[in-house]
Amino acid sequence: MARAAAATDVFTAIAEAHRREILDALVAGERPVGAIVDVLHLAQPQVSKHLRILSDVGLVTCRAEGRRRLYRLNHERLRPLHDWMGKYERALSERLDRMDDYLEDLQGRERVR
């Protein structure tokens, strides 16, 4: 399972649809593996692999309660994603501001003529 190491950060981890579904399933709170399996309609070994990847990048944490393993979302690790979206939004906004300035320059020039 060397490929399991492929997801090295939050972004790669959430690039896979089933892993996003797992995160969705955990938004409401802590859940045992069985409950996640029920939501995803995937075989338990596959769900476990996905959970391991999410756990490796710190997006979920796990604790044992008797024989059950309970998974929960680590909201703090979602912060890089929020930061990235904020950065993306700023950069896009700045580009549109440059376009705005340029349009204004163009129209100013026309008025002078």
* Residue type present at position 54: L
Strands laid side by side in the 68-73 sheet:
31-32, 68-73, 60-65
Among 46, 63, 68, 75, binds other proteins (CB under 8 A): 46
Among 36, 96, 109, 111, binds other proteins (CB under 8 A): 96
* Residue type present at position 101: D
Distance CA 62, CA 78 (A): 16
- Contact flag: residue 49 with other proteins (CB under 8 A): yes
- Contact flag: residue 82 with other proteins (CB under 8 A): no
Minimum distance between the CB of residue 78 and other proteins, rounded to whole angstroms? 14
- Contact flag: residue 99 with other proteins (CB under 8 A): yes
